[in-house]
Structure 1
Amino acid sequence: MRIHSRVIGGALVATLLTQLTACGTLFYPDRRGQIEGKVDPVIVALDAIGILFYVIPGLIAFGVDFATGAIYYPGGTTAQVDPAKLKPAVNADGSIDNSKLQAILESELGQRLPLNDPRLIQHRGSVEQLASYGLIPAA
Structure 2
Amino acid sequence: MQNRIAKSIAVAVIATHLAACGTILYPERKGQVSGKIDAGVAALNGIGLLFFLVPGVIAFAVDFNNGTIYLPNSTSVDGEDDGLRVVQAHPNLTPNELQEIIEKEVGEPVDLSKAQVESRTAPDQASIQQELNTRTAP
TM-score when scaled to structure 1?
Answer: 0.45
Higher relative contact order (CA 8 A, sep 6+): 2
Larger Rg: 1
TM-score when scaled to structure 2?
Answer: 0.45
